[in-house]
């Protein structure tokens, strides 16, 4: 039947199943082996698979990301964990110049089947150097696929798809979701279960306004929708799941139905995921169906402050989403 599974356990299951399924798959990163992972995502895997498959690295992102990219070019299927995506900046040369561009520059002769994964975006009380969302950065680059899960089902299904994909995939997880339990259907508990990359999911159908989000803000949108439903406003909540390639068709179909759009993200406004969605809607067939301008609900345009009250004011809260909806619907 249906099980309650945390995002942490869903990711652990996915890694375990894929390590078992294909001996070319291996995991490397800081603390992933003997310590069971900085966030316990890889709990038990080193004991089960040993040093060849689960590898502790020095604190040297550029080094171990480079080793992983080379391994992928040579036919292995590495999963490279960053302890936070803020520190993938040390290795962004490897991710973009070495991994993302190689298949194109080799005319398809050299695939690079690699997954870069770890926590992305704001956690709690860790200040600016650990709180940035990189969805827009990595989503900007052709040659990468970029996924951003919310629920346990997203996390498990997208990680399995990412590992099986022959392209480099960046998987942006959220530290604050790791301990959150979600319902996992019987289907999603199976070893064959995958979530296709590039397909959004309608988490809540509605008729009055479309809310589009990825990662943790999906939960905030669902909460906001519940509050608004009591006031007679029915929100359609779309969980983007994938940043690149972006499923704009699902968003368009929803906007055609609701005639209103609010995008929600934890990242910064300038050149953000919401900015891209708004531009694509503007350029496409759904624009004629909009009854009001599309509105972005984003993080504040500042480096993340350390103080809790300031942090709360810098990330979109349920009240901010409700405010954006009411503004858009003119109520």
Find out whether the peptide bond into 245 is cis, omega within 30 degrees of 0. Answer: yes
Is 23 within the bounds of a domain? Answer: yes
> What CATH number did the domain enclosing 178 receive?
3.40.50.970
Instruction: Please say whether the beta carbons of 239 and 154 come within 8 A.
Output: yes
- pLDDT band for 9, please (50, 70, 90 cuts): very high
Q: With bands split at pLDDT 50, 70 and 90, how would you rate the model's confidence at 149?
A: very high
pLDDT for the residue 126: 92
**Is residue 194 in some structural domain?**
no
Q: Say if 196 falls within a structural domain.
A: no
Residues 14 and 144 in one domain: yes
Q: Residue 239 sits in a domain of what CATH number?
A: 3.40.50.920
Note whether 235 and 86 are same-domain residues: no
269 and 132 in one domain?
A: no
pLDDT of residue 228: 98
Q: 234 burial class (0-12, 13-18, 19+ CB within 10 angstroms)?
A: middle
DSSP state of 84: S
Q: Are residues 185 and 253 in the same domain?
A: no
What pLDDT, on the 0 to 100 scale, is given for residue 77?
98
| pLDDT band at 197; cut points 50, 70, 90 | very high
| pLDDT range class, residue 155, cuts 50, 70, 90 | very high
Are 142 and 233 in a shared domain? no
Q: Does residue 285 sit in the same domain as residue 263?
A: yes
Q: Are residues 118 and 208 in the same domain?
A: no
Evaluate whether residue 152 is within a structural domain. Answer: yes
Mean pLDDT of the chain: 97
Q: HEC profile for 133-199?
A: CCHHHHHCCCCCEEECCCCHHHHHHHHHHHHHCCCCEEEEECHHHCCCEEEECCCCCCCCCCCCCCC
For 299-313, how does the pLDDT look when each residue is reduced to its tens digit (9 = 90+)? Answer: 999 999 999 999 999
Same domain, 52 and 128: yes
Domain that holds residue 278: 201-329
Model confidence band, residue 73 (pLDDT cutoffs 50, 70, 90): very high
The pLDDT value recorded for residue 10 is 98
> In this structure, what is the dihedral angle of CA atoms 47, 48, 54, 55, given to the nearest 10 degrees?
30
Q: Which of 17, 106, 116 is nearest to 66 (CA)?
A: 116
Q: Which residues are designated catalytic?
A: 61, 130
17 within a domain of the structure (yes/no): yes
In a domain, residue 176? The reply is yes
Calculate Rg over the CA atoms of the chain: 20
Q: What is the pLDDT of residue 166?
A: 98
- To which H or E segment does residue 4 belong? strand 3-6
Say if residue 257 is in the same domain as residue 208.
yes
- List, for residues 246-290, the tens digit of each pLDDT value: 999 999 999 999 999 999 999 999 999 999 999 999 999 999 999
Q: Binning pLDDT at 50, 70 and 90, where does residue 76 land?
A: very high
Domains identified in the chain, total number: 2
Confirm whether 195 is domain-assigned.
no
Looking at the structure, tell me whether residues 240 and 142 fall in a common domain.
Answer: no
- Shared domain for 182 and 130, answered yes or no, is yes
Structure tokens at 129: 């150097």
Answer with the one of 160, 189, 218 that is the final residue of a domain. Answer: 189
Q: Among 122, 157, 189, give the residue marking a domain's end.
A: 189
pLDDT of 43 reads 98
* Separation in Å, CA 179 to CA 135, 150, 203, 256: 22, 12, 20, 36
Whether 48 and 146 map to the same domain: the answer is yes
Query: Does 279 reside within a domain?
Result: yes
29-49, pLDDT tens digit by residue?
Answer: 999 999 999 999 999 999 999
Q: Can you tell me the mean pLDDT for 109-129?
A: 95
Residue 318's SS3 state is: helix
The per-residue pLDDT for range 102-116, each reduced to its tens digit, is 999 999 999 999 999
For the residues 325-329, what does the mean pLDDT come to?
Answer: 98
């Amino acid at each position: 039947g249906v099980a309650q599974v945390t995002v942490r356990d869903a990711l652990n299951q996915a890694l375990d199943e894929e390590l078992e399924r294909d001996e070319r798959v291996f995991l490397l990163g800081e603390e992933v082996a003997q310590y069971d992972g900085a966030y316990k995502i890889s709990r038990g895997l080193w004991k089960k698979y040993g040093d060849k498959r689960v590898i502790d690295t020095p604190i040297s992102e550029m080094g171990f990301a480079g080793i992983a990219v080379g391994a992928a070019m040579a036919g292995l299927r590495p999963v490279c964990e960053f302890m936070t995506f803020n520190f993938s900046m040390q290795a962004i040369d490897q991710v973009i110049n070495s991994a993302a561009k190689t298949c194109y520059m080799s005319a398809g002769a050299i695939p690079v089947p690699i997954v870069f994964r770890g926590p992305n975006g704001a956690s709690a009380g860790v200040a600016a150097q650990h709180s940035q969302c990189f969805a827009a950065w990595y989503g900007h680059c052709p040659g990468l696929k970029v996924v951003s899960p919310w629920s346990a089902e997203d996390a498990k299904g997208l990680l399995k798809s990412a590992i099986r994909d022959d392209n480099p995939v960046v998987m942006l997880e959220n530290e604050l979701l790791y301990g959150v339990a979600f319902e996992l259907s019987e289907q999603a508990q199976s070893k064959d279960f995958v979530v296709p990359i590039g397909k959004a999911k309608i988490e809540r159908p509605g008729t009055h306004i479309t809310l589009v989000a990825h990662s943790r803000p999906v939960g905030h949108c669902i909460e906001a929708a519940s509050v608004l439903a009591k006031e007679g406003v029915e929100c359609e909540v779309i969980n983007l799941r994938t940043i690149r390639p972006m499923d704009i068709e699902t968003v368009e179909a929803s906007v055609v139905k609701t005639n209103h759009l609010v995008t929600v993200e934890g990242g910064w406004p300038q050149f953000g995921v919401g900015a891209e969605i708004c531009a694509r809607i503007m350029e496409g067939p759904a624009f004629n169906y909009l009854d009001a301008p599309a509105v972005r609900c984003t993080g504040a345009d500042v480096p993340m402050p350390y103080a809790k009250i300031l942090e709360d004011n810098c990330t979109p809260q349920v009240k901010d989403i409700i405010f954006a909806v009411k503004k858009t619907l003119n109520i």
